[in-house]
Structure 1
Amino acid sequence: MLGLPERTEFNKRIPKQKFYENMDVSPALKRVFVEQIRIIYWRNKLAATTMNIAAGEEVTEIEVFEVRVQEPQFDEAVLRQIDKEIPYHILFLLTCDRKEQAWIGYKEAAASGSNAFKVSRYYHTDWVPEGSLNFSIDGLNMDAVYANLVRQIAGDSLSSTQGETLQESVARDEAKQELLKKIASLEMKIRKEKQLNRKMELNAELKKIRKKMESLLGRQ
């Protein structure tokens, strides 16, 4: 599966109830698990103990979970809930109707410490025929393996400059997405605005934001 080494295979079924029973989960999210998720398998465990790779400072293990969904469209909150309950980094393989799609979150330790993690955002591949996805395990330690997996799954949306860390690439991508939202919002306001003076003000603001976007993209 995914071209991962055979020695990393785990293949254990995890009851989906594990992620919402006896936990502070909203009725709406419980319903999502029941209606959208069929089966969850823990397929692989990528770690220093299962591969000839050094442990990382931030990443100790990467679990590979296969999540069989009822429909290609699903609620991302499901992945966030699973990520919240598992104190390791997770690569999700979604499967549906003989197609598959890989998801991975940029997951880092929360400021509170302990074993808490937070996921700032998820990256994913397109849906492709089942068995088509393969990923390279590149890196001398688990931190590098994780960073390379995130970049492989994110593709062009997480392109980087030479020497840029994964954290820096993600931060720049988040800034880009925020600017895109502002541009779309301003363009809509300009289309609806009737007063010429106000429209000119909005156009000036839009021009500034577009310059910020050009500067951000120029660093790629």
Structure 2
Amino acid sequence: MIGLPQSTEFNKRIPKQKFYENLTVSASLKQSFVDQIKTIYWRNKIAASTVNIAEGTDVEEIEVFEIKLTGENIDEGILKQMDKEIPYHILFLLEHEGKYQAWIGYKEEAQSGTSAFKVNSYYHTDWLQVDDLPVKMEGLSIDAVYENFVRQIAGDSLKASNQESLKDSVDRDNRRQGLQKQIDKLQQKVRKEKQLNRQMQMNTELKALNRELDELT
């Protein structure tokens, strides 16, 4: 799929129950697995052992999972649970009625010093034909391939300048999203506020937030 070398093909079906048998998984998340997922396939394994590129420093392998859905929506908790259970980086290809979405999380090692990972943000494409997905294996190391996957899928959200690292790009995007939420809430308050002096005060705050947002974009 997505033009990956034949040497990376794995093509193993994974029972979806494998991801929610854990007793700590909530009943609502288990139900999401049951209701939203038809089948899960482990399609590819991208590693130095399967492609002729250098090993990564931060990324050991990238697994490609195809998830066939019952509808167009997915509970993000499903992807987080799969990312939690599998100690490698994952590219998700969601399929519904012949169309695909590519999803990927910015996944990094937890600060605890264990082999655990945490996912800070997920990015995804629109629903497209599989050949139209903006996902290409590019890079001279596994780290570079992973970074390019994230940037390709995120698009303008992680558009970098001045050789910004992927982590810095993700942190900047998270700050941008947080500022936008603050701006949206404050704009709603301005519309509801009846006192002129209070409106003026909030508009001053809005201008400051918008300036800060402009600096991040």
Q: Same fold (TM over 0.5)?
A: yes
Question: Residues 65-114 of structure 1, C-alpha deviation per residue, up to 9 Å, x if partnerless?
Answer: 00111000121111011001000000000000111010000000001122
Q: Which amino acid aligns with 1:81?
A: Q
**CA distance 1:186–1:134, shift in 2 (3 Å):** closer
Map 1:85-96; keep pairs closer than 5 Å: 85-96=85-96
Tell me by how many angstroms 1:198 deviates: 1.2
SS at match of 2:67: strand
- Normalized against structure 2, the TM-score is what? 0.97
Ranges in structure 2 where 5+ consecutive residues have no aligned partner: none
Tell me by how many angstroms 1:216 deviates: 1.8
SS at match of 1:93: strand
SS at match of 2:132: coil
In the alignment, the residues of structure 2 paired with residue 157 and residue 135 of structure 1 have an alpha-carbon distance, to the nearest angstrom, of 15
Tell me by how many angstroms 1:136 deviates: 2.3
Question: Residues 8-55 of structure 1, C-alpha deviation per residue, up to 9 Å, x if partnerless?
Answer: 000000000000113310000000000001100000000000001111
- Normalized against structure 1, the TM-score is what? 0.96
User: Displaced runs of 4+ in structure 1, greater than 3 A?
Assistant: none
SS at match of 2:58: coil
Tell me by how many angstroms 1:195 deviates: 1.1
Q: Which amino acid aligns with 1:51?
A: V
Tell me by how many angstroms 1:116 deviates: 0.4
**CA distance 1:211–1:111, shift in 2 (3 Å):** same
* Contact 1:2/1:134 (<8 A) preserved: no
Please name the residue that 2:75 is paired with: 75
* Contact 1:100/1:127 (<8 A) preserved: yes
Please name the residue that 1:22 is paired with: 22
Ranges in structure 1 where 5+ consecutive residues have no aligned partner: none
* Contact 1:100/1:131 (<8 A) preserved: no
Please name the residue that 1:195 is paired with: 195
* Contact 1:41/1:67 (<8 A) preserved: yes
Please name the residue that 1:204 is paired with: 204
Question: Which has the larger displacement, 131-140 or 180-189?
Answer: 131-140
Tell me by how many angstroms 1:2 deviates: 0.8
Give the CA RMSD over aligned residues. 1.0
Map 1:12-51; keep pairs closer than 5 Å: 12-51=12-51
In the alignment, the residues of structure 2 paired with residue 203 and residue 130 of structure 1 have an alpha-carbon distance, to the nearest angstrom, of 45
* Contact 1:45/1:62 (<8 A) preserved: yes
Please name the residue that 1:149 is paired with: 149
Tell me by how many angstroms 1:134 deviates: 5.6
SS at match of 2:22: coil
Q: How many residues align?
A: 217
| Percent identity (aligned) | 59
SS at match of 1:91: strand
Q: Which amino acid aligns with 1:126?
A: D
